[in-house]
């Protein structure tokens, strides 16, 4: 890609990708979340007078409500929408105009959007901190913070774990973010359990390769289960398929039943970002290894820790270095640059190759 390097400094800390926080900062967030869980009264007025805006262009239960609850439990207030059809988005307002305006009303902007790279786009002009609450099938860093807190509290460690990721590894943004985070801890190994159609995208495999993290791709959940310390089930993401027919061919391939779980270790942890459709049988819910409902509660505490840190902490200033190119040539049809062509043409060099700075896909050649 021809272009010149450009370094941007942001007025406030953002969380677009978990790599925006150092390993030490992530550990500090987890420790703070654990303290908030133990002593919630000590934090109940911490964010009084501060405002969070939650802009959800896509449906959500856990992420939206746990962020809102996090802010309310810290004494702050919440504005926002969960249906862009009720906002001026319905009149054709572009993403960056909406987020620029709302960032002038708030102290932290939490955004979920179906287009990949939307949170990065919002952060370029935002006057306040931006948190990526899920951008298409790309990343979901606060779900990863949730997963890390759950593992550290319930497993007692983030290292030396064999982690099975099962289901829609292609579209599962929680999987992509978790791989980025857990591949940085020593001794972790991934078993990627999916059909060929739902296999992990190349940009996530490149993260594994670059980190030297051991991984293998398999198709049988039953055969993988006995080796696992953690089984991370995922929903087949119907909304991201090109057709109903393509979805029908993939759905119901992986269903965790009580019978399959019997082959798992006694201290296996079963996680799921939720919502579930039918990939975990309801009978599994009563097994003490089923941790997905507790996981969702941990999500609220870690989001309290994140909001507290963004608004009251003194993290080092954040800068990003991009390659500014003459034109966008992102290969991803769902990249935000396809629907918002006014965005600057930024690329990054990551894991030895060029990637779109918004959605991490390779440029078209």
Residue numbers of the site for ligand CP (CB under 6 A)? 60-64, 134, 143, 273-275
Shortest Å, Cβ 61 to ligand CP:
4
Q: Which is nearer to ligand CP, 82 or 217 (CB)?
A: 82
Q: Which is nearer to ligand CP, 99 or 174 (CB)?
A: 174
Q: Which is nearer to ligand CP, 137 or 273 (CB)?
A: 273
Q: In whole angstroms, give the CA distance from residue 92 to residue 7.
A: 31
What count of Cα atoms within 13 Å lies in the side-chain half-sphere of residue 318? 23
CA distances from 306 to 43, 83, 146, 343 (A): 13, 24, 11, 28
Q: Which is nearer to ligand CP, 78 or 323 (CB)?
A: 78
Q: Which is nearer to ligand CP, 62 or 115 (CB)?
A: 62
> Taking the alpha carbons of 111, 113, 117, 121 in that order, is the dihedral positive or negative?
negative
Total residue count of the chain as it appears in this document: 365
CA distances from 277 to 128, 196, 233, 234, 252 (A): 36, 21, 11, 9, 9
Task: Identify the H or E element spanning 205.
Answer: helix 202-211
Q: Which is nearer to ligand CP, 105 or 293 (CB)?
A: 293
Q: Please give the span between the terminal C-alpha atoms of the chain, in angstroms, as a whole number.
A: 9
Shortest Å, Cβ 303 to ligand CP:
11
Q: Which is nearer to ligand CP, 80 or 134 (CB)?
A: 134
Tell me which DSSP letter residue 196 carries.
S
Q: In whole angstroms, give the CA distance from residue 245 to residue 234.
A: 20
Shortest Å, Cβ 189 to ligand CP:
24
Shortest Å, Cβ 132 to ligand CP:
11
Beta-strand pair 162-166/189-193: parallel
Shortest Å, Cβ 134 to ligand CP:
6
Shortest Å, Cβ 360 to ligand CP:
19
Q: In whole angstroms, give the CA distance from residue 219 to residue 304.
A: 38
Shortest Å, Cβ 286 to ligand CP:
22
């Amino acid at each position: 890609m021809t272009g010149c390097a450009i370094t941007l400094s942001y007025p406030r800390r953002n969380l677009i990708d978990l790599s925006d926080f150092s390993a030490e900062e992530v550990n500090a967030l987890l420790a703070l979340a654990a303290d908030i869980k133990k002593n919630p009264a000590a934090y109940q007025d911490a964010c009084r007078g501060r405002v969070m805006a939650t802009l959800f262009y896509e449906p959500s239960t856990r992420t939206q409500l746990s962020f809102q609850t996090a802010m309310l439990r810290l004494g702050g207030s919440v504005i926002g929408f969960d249906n862009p059809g009720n906002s001026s988005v319905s009149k054709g307002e572009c993403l960056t105009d909406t987020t620029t305006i709302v960032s002038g009303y708030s102290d932290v902007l939490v955004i979920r959007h179906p287009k990949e790279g939307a949170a990065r786009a919002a952060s370029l002009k935002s006057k306040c901190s931006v948190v990526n609450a899920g951008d298409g099938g790309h990343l979901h860093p606060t779900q990863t913070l949730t997963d890390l807190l759950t593992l550290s509290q319930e497993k007692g460690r983030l290292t030396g774990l064999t982690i099975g990721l099962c289901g829609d590894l292609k579209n599962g943004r929680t999987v992509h973010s978790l791989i980025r985070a857990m591949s940085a801890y020593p001794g972790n190994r991934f078993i990627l359990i999916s059909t060929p159609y739902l296999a992990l995208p190349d940009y996530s495999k490149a993260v594994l390769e670059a980190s030297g993290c051991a991984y293998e791709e398999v198709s049988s959940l039953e055969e993988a289960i006995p080796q696992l310390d953690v089984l991370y089930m995922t929903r087949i993401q119907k909304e991201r398929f090109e057709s109903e027919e393509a979805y029908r061919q993939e759905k119901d391939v992986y269903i965790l039943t009580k019978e399959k779980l019997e082959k798992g270790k006694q201290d296996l942890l079963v996680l799921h970002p939720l919502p579930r459709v039918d990939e975990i049988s309801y009978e599994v819910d009563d097994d003490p290894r089923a941790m997905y409902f507790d996981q969702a509660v941990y999500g609220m505490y870690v989001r309290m820790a994140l909001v507290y840190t963004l608004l009251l902490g003194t993290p080092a200033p954040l800068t990003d270095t991009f390659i500014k190119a003459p034109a966008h040539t992102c290969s991803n049809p769902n990249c935000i640059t396809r629907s918002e062509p006014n965005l600057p043409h930024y690329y990054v060099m990551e894991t030895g190759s060029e990637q779109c700075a918004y959605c991490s896909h390779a440029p078209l050649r």
